[in-house]
Chain A
Amino acid sequence: MAFIELKGIDYHINKKNKKLNMLFENLNLAIEGNEFITIVGANGIGKTTLSKLIIGVLKPDKGQVLLENINIEDYKRYEIGRKIGYLFQNPEIQLFNAKIYEELMFAYEFGEGISDEVRKRYDTVIKDLSLEKAVNTPIKQLSQGEKQRVAIGTILMNNPKFIILDEPTVGLNQELIDDLRVILLKIYHKGIGVLLISHDNEFVKSLPTKVLTLSKGGRISV
Chain B
Amino acid sequence: MFRDYDPRVKILIVMILTGVVVFDNNLVTQGLIVFLTFILAFIVGVNVINTLYKMRRFLTLLFSIIIIQSLFVQGGHRYLYIGAITLISEKGITLGIAYVFRVIVIIMSGAIISTSSMRNTMQGMVQLKLPYELALMTSIGVRFLPILMGEVRNTHVSMELRGIDVNELHIKRRLELIGRLFVPIVYSTLYRAKSLSESIDMRGYIIGEKRSSYYHLTLRKHDIALGVIVIIVALVILNRNYGGFI
Binding site for B on A (CB under 8 A): 55, 57, 76-82, 84-86, 88, 90, 92-97, 106-107, 110-111, 140, 154, 158
Contacts and interface: CB of A to CB of B under 8 A. Distances in A.
Contacts, number: 72
B154 A93 contact: yes
A55 B154 CA distance: 12
A90 B162 contact: no
Contacts of B160: 77-78, 81
B161 interface: yes
Given A78-B166, A110-B169, A110-B173, A92 B188 contact: yes
30 contacts: A76-B165, A77-B160, A78-B162, A78-B165, A78-B166, A81-B160, A81-B161, A86-B157, A86-B161, A88-B154, A88-B158, A90-B188, A92-B187, A92-B188, A93-B155, A93-B184, A94-B154, A94-B159, A96-B159, A96-B180, A96-B184, A97-B183, A107-B162, A107-B164, A110-B169, A110-B173, A110-B177, A111-B163, A111-B164, A154-B162
B165 A93 contact: no
Interface of B: 151, 154-155, 157-166, 168-169, 173, 177, 180-181, 183-184, 187-188, 191
A209 to B, nearest CB: 23
A81 B158 CA distance: 9
Nearest to A111: B164
Nearest to A77: B160
Given A90-B188, A92-B191, A111 B165 contact: yes
Nearest to A154: B162
A88 to B, nearest CB: 5
A82 B180 contact: no
Residue of B159, B168, B187 contacting most chain A CB atoms (<10 Å): B159
B188 A93 contact: yes
Given A92-B187, A94-B158, A96-B180, 16 more contacts: A77-B157, A77-B161, A78-B160, A78-B163, A78-B166, A93-B184, A93-B188, A94-B155, A94-B159, A95-B184, A96-B184, A106-B164, A111-B168, A140-B187, A154-B162, A158-B163
Contacts of B158: 86, 88, 93-94
B162 A106 contact: yes
Residue of B151, B158, B163, B184 contacting most chain A CB atoms (<10 Å): B163
Contacts of B187: 92, 140
Contacts of B162: 78, 81, 106-107, 154, 158
A138 to B, nearest CB: 12
A140 B188 CA distance: 11
Nearest 5 A/B pairs, CB to CB: A81-B161, A94-B158, A77-B160, A96-B180, A81-B163
Residue of A96, A106, A140 contacting most chain B CB atoms (<10 Å): A96
B95 to A, nearest CB: 33
A86 B158 CA distance: 8
Contacts of A79: 163
Contacts of B161: 55, 77-78, 80-81, 84-86
B158 to A, nearest CB: 4
Contacts of A82: 163
Contacts of A92: 184, 187-188, 191
Contacts of B155: 93-94
Nearest to A96: B180
A92 B155 CA distance: 9
A156 to B, nearest CB: 12
Residue of B161, B169, B173 contacting most chain A CB atoms (<10 Å): B161
A194 B9 CA distance: 56
B165 A97 contact: no
B164 to A, nearest CB: 5
Given A86-B158, A88-B158, A110-B169, A93 B151 contact: yes
A219 to B, nearest CB: 26
B199 to A, nearest CB: 16
